Structure 1
Amino acid sequence: MECLSEVPHAPLDRRPRKRQRLGWDVGPEIPQIKFCGQEVANVISAVTLGLSSSGVVSSQVAEELLHVATPPLREDDKDGHYVFAVGDNLTSRYRINAKMGEGTFGQVLECWDRERKEMVAVKIIRGIKKYRDAAMIEIGMLEQLCRYEKSRSSCVQIRNWFDYRNHICIVCEKLGPSLYDFLRKNNYRSFPIAVVREVAKQLLECIAFMHELRLIHTDLKPENILLVSPEYIKVPDYKVSSRSLKDGSYYKRLPKSSAIKVIDFGSTTYDQQDQSYVVSTRHYRAPEVILGLGWSYPCDVWSVGCILIELCTGEALFQTHENLEHLAMMEWVLGPLPYNMLKRRDRQAEKYVRKGRLNWPEGCASRESMKAVMKLPRLQNLVIQNVEHSAGDFIDLLEGLLRYDPDGRLTAQEALKHPFMTERSER
C-alpha cells in the first residue's frame, strides 16, 4: 500500500492536527513466512500477493515482498532525527541507498526511486514542530518556484513530498556537492576567477528571479548552493606552499561544470511579510539586520557578495560569532559604517554604538577578538592577493554588493549588467 500526499496547490493549512496513521506505519500482524530458507516477518503486502498453503513463496514473489517491506519502527534519536538503515524503504517507492548530508533541519538521503527509475535526494525533516512547519513553508515555496520555467536552471526541483512516521520528506532531484563541501574537500583552495564569475552569474539570476516574485531567500551561503554535477578534474596548484608539498597535495580540484542550483527555501519569505526574526547565517548577515533596521531584498545581495569573496579566497570573510566584532570586521575591511545607520539602530543594538560611532575597540570582548579583526586586510588588498585577472572589475562589483546602505546597494539585476559579469570567461 502506498499513501503519498500530492503536492498542494491551495494555501497550506498549518494548524496543528493529529497525524493520521499511515498505511506504511501500521499494518495487520502477519505470521512469519518462509522465503527459501530465510525468515522474513511482518511483510504487509504478503496477503495481497498470495501464499501457498505451506507458507513458501517463490524467489520472485519474495523479491516483490521485500520491495514493499516496511522497516521496523524505531524511535527517533535524542535530537528528533529519523533513524534508518541503508536498504530500508521510505514507503514502497523509495529505497535508502546512502546518507548524503545532515544539518539542523534533519538529514538528506540518497534514495532509489522505483517509479521513475532514478536516484533522488530525500530531505527528511526532524520530527519537531518548528522544523516541520519550516518544511511545509519550503514545500510551498518550491512548488511556487517550479511553476516558472526560469526556476528550472537555478532552483532545486521538487519531485514529491510525503509525511512518514512524523517526518516530512521532501523528494528532489539529486545534485552534486555544495560549494562549501567542494571547498572543504579541496583543502579550502579558491576557485579560479572564471568559475567565480560563472557561479556569480547563475546565483544573481536566481536571486533576481526570486525578487521579481517578491521572494527573499534570506539564507544564502555556500552550503545552500549545490553544483549540479559531482565530477571534477585535478590540476596543478601553482600557489601550493612547501608545507602542502610534504602532504603531496600539490594538485587541486576544479569542477568539470560550473552549473549550480540554489537549495533550502525553508526561511524564504515574502517582502515585508515578517521581520520579527533574524535572517541569514551569521557570516553572510547584512549590517542592517545586525543593527535592527529591518531587511528586504538587499540582504540577499549582501550575502552574494560575501559568498563571492569566499569562493575567490577559500575562506569566509567574516568568521565571527558576535555582533560587535562582526560590525568591527566590516569596518576594518570596508571602511566606517555610515552615521545615519548607526543613529537609527534599534534598542538591542544600542550597546554597539557610542558617541555616534561603533563602540570599538573599547567594547571588544577580548584581546583575541581585537586580533581577529585587525588581521583582516582591506577589500582591495584581499582581492588582489587572490585574483590574477579582472581584479579591478571584481573589486568594483564587490563594493556595490557590499555597500552598507541597503538603498544604495546594487540590485541583483544591476549586478548582472556590471562589467565583471559581462566579461567573457576564460578558464
Structure 2
Amino acid sequence: MLLIWIDHQSSFILGKHYKVEAFLGEGGFGIVAKCRDTMTNRAVAIKVNKSRPDILQQAKLEIFILEQLRRLDSDAANIVQWNGFFHDGERVCLKFELLDQCLRDYIWDRKNHCLPISEVRPILGQLTNALSHLGSVGMVHADLKPGNIMVVNRHESPIKVKLIDFGLACPASAVMPGDRVGTVGYCAPEVMLGLPYNEAIDMWSLGLVAVELATGLPLYPGNEDYDVLKFIIETQGQPPDHVLDSGTRCIKLTRLDDLEQIIMFRRGPEAGQRLFVSLIKQMLALDAHQRITPSEVLRHPFFSTKSSLCIDMSAERSQNPVVFQHPSNLEIVAEGCSFLSLALLKVSSFLKGVFPSHCR
C-alpha cells in the first residue's frame, strides 16, 4: 500500500477530490504525488508540504514566488505551470502540471549516462531561456540542478524541458549576503563564500548541469563546500582576491591533493564540442561580474547552428522585476579500473579540455 503521509497516516484522497495514484518523490519539505482530479479526470502533480511551522512558512514564500511567475507564459518560459494551492488538514498542497521525467533520470537511462552535444544544445538553450524569463521578473531560482529540471515528454525529439521547484527561489532584490541556498556541488563560489549574489548563481549552476549532460558525471563532486571549492581551485585556480576578501566564510585550503596517477580517457570527436567548451568557460567564470548572461549565451556561436530549441523569447523584455524592500566513445586503456577511478578519469579528461592551464 502506498504511504503518502510523512506522519505515516495512510489516505488516498488529498483535499476533497484528488485521488493519489503514485508517489513521485520526497524532500525535506514533504512529498510529491501523482494525483487524479476526480472532477476533471486530469492527472496532476501535487506537492504536499509537511505541517511543521517552518515548512508552512517556506510554503507561503514559495506561493508568493509562484504568484509572481504567473505573469509569465509557462510554456514559452520553460517553467512548470502552477495551478494554485489548497489545504489538506494542516498541510499546504501545491498543484502543478504533471511532467514526464526528471533530467537526472533521463540521462541516467542513456548510454554512458550522458548525451551527445547535438542533444545537449537544445536542452541548454531552453534552460537559458528559462533563466532569461526569470531574470525579466527579477527572480533567482537558487537551486538549479538535474533533479529540478523535468522532461515534458521523453519521446519527443528534440525533448522539451521545464524548470521546477521554486522552494528556494527569491527576488534578486531580497538576497541577503551569507544566505546559504542551493545544493552542494551546484552552488556558485559566491554562495559558498558568503558573498552577495544575484541571478548569476543560476548561470553557474546551469554550466555545471551542461557539463553533467555531456559527460554523465558532476564536474565538482563533493559532500561539503570545502570539497567543491578544492575541486574548483584545482581546475580553475584561486578566485580573484577581491572575491575572497569580500567573503563572510573562511575556508582554509591546506590539504594537498594526493590522488593517484590516473590514465586519461578521451571523448570521441563531436561537432560543436570546442564551442561547447568555450561557452562552459564563460558560464563558470569565478567572478560573477564576468559570468555570461542568458542573452549572451543564446548569442554564443554554440547556438549559431540550426537547431530546434523549443523556446520563445518574445516575452523576455515584457515583464517588470519583483522588488523586495528590506565522452562518449571512451577507450579503456587499462584493465581493472574501479568505478571511482573511471569517474575520475572521465571528469579529468573533460577538465583538461576546459581548463588546460590548471590541469596537471
Give 1:215's aligned amino acid.
Answer: M
Distance, in Å, in 2 between the alignment partners of 1:115 and 1:376 is 60
Query: Would the alpha carbon gap of residues 268 and 324 (structure 1) be closer, same or farther in structure 2, given more than 3 Å must change?
Result: same
Corresponding residue to 2:206 among 299, 304, 310: 304
Tell me the C-alpha RMSD between the 2 structures: 2.7
Aligned mate of 1:264, from 147, 159, 165:
165
Q: Provide Cα deviations, 1:22-45, integer angstroms capped at 9, x if missing partner.
A: xxxxxxxxxxxxxxxxxxxxxxxx
1:229: how far off? 1.1
Compare CA radii of gyration and give the structure with the larger one: 1
Which residue type is aligned with residue 297 of structure 2?
Answer: A
| CA distance in structure 2 between the partners assigned to 1:84 and 1:187 by the alignment | 39
* Cα distance change, pair 410–376 in 1 and its aligned pair in 2 (3 A): farther
Q: Is 1:325 matched with 2:227?
A: yes
Contact 1:193 1:387 in 2 (8 A): no
How much has 1:256 moved relative to structure 2? 4.4
Q: How many residues align?
A: 306
Counterpart-to-counterpart distance in 2, 1:303 and 1:274: 17
In the TM superposition, residue 282 of structure 1 has moved relative to its aligned partner by: 0.8
- Is this contact kept in 1: 2:149–2:163, CA < 8 A? yes
Matched, 1:409 2:311: no
Q: Which residue does the alignment assign to 2:196?
A: 294
CA offsets 1:20-72 (integer angstroms, 9 cap, x no match): xxxxxxxxxxxxxxxxxxxxxxxxxxxxxxxxxxxxxxxxxxxxxxxxxxxxx
Q: Give percent identity, aligned residues only.
A: 28
Aligned CA distance change for structure 1 residues 145 and 387 (closer, same or farther; 3 Å): farther
With structure 1 as the length reference, what TM-score do the two structures score? 0.66
* Secondary structure class of the residue paired with 2:126: helix
For 1:363, which of 249, 255, 260 is the aligned residue? 255
Counterparts of 1:109-128 in structure 2 under 5 Å? 109-128=33-52
Structural mapping, 1:139-158, within 5 Å = 139-149=63-73, 152-158=76-82
| Matched residue SS, 2:227 | helix
SS of the aligned residue for 2:210 comes to helix
8 Å CA contact 2:221, 2:227 repeated in 1: no
Is the alpha carbon distance of 1:213 and 1:421 closer, same or farther for their aligned partners in structure 2, counting shifts above 3 Å?
Answer: same
Map of 1:224 onto structure 2 = 148
Unaligned runs of 5+ in 1: 1-73, 232-254, 353-358
Distance 1:75 1:100 in 2: 10
Is the aligned partner of 1:84 residue 2:10? yes
- Aligned residue for 1:123, secondary structure, equals strand
| Aligned counterpart for 2:108 among listed residues 167, 184, 190 | 184
Equivalent residue in structure 1 for 2:179, among 252, 255, 277: 277
In the TM superposition, what is the alpha-carbon distance from 1:315 to its structure 2 partner? Answer: 1.1
Letter in 2 for 1:408: Q
Letter of the 2:305 partner, please give it. E
Runs of 5+ unmatched residues, structure 2: 309-360
Pick closer, same or farther for the CA change 1:126–1:404 going to 2, 3 Å: same
CA gap of 1:89–1:323, structure 2 versus 1, over 3 A, is closer
336-345 or 401-410, which deviates more: 336-345
Please tell me whether residue 195 in structure 1 is matched to residue 119 in structure 2: yes
Task: Report if the CA contact (8 A) 1:229-1:257 is conserved.
Answer: no
Q: Aligned partners of 2:173 and 2:48: how far apart in 1?
A: 30
Q: Which has the higher contact order (CA 8 A, sep 6+)?
A: 2
Note the alpha carbon deviations across 1:378-422, whole angstroms, 9 max, x for none.
xxxx9x626622111101100110001100110111111111023
Equivalent-residue separation in structure 1 for 2:283 and 2:263 (angstroms) = 19
Moved over 4 A (4+): 74-77, 150-153, 374-377
1:214 aligns with 2:138: yes
Give the secondary-structure state (helix, strand or coil) at the position aligned to 1:107. Answer: strand
Partner residue of 2:270 out of 388, 406, 419? 388
Partner of 2:324: none
Contact 1:111–1:120 (Cα < 8 Å) also in 2: yes
SS in 1 for 2:93: strand
| Aligned residue number for residue 87 of structure 2 | 163
Instruction: Tell me if structure 2 keeps the 8 A contact 1:301–1:411.
Output: yes
How far residue 187 of structure 1 moved from its aligned partner, in angstroms, is 6.9
Match of 1:65 in 2: none
2:306 is the counterpart of 1:424: yes
Deviation at 1:272, TM superposition (A): 3.3
Q: CA deviation at 1:375?
A: 6.7
| Conserved 8 A contact 1:142-1:157 | no
Q: Structure 2: how far apart are the matches of 1:289 and 1:376?
A: 34
Separation in structure 1 between the aligned mates of residue 276 and residue 4 of structure 2, nearest angstrom = 51
Determine the C-alpha separation between the residues in 1 that align with 2:111 and 2:56: 35
- TM superposition score normalised by structure 2: 0.78
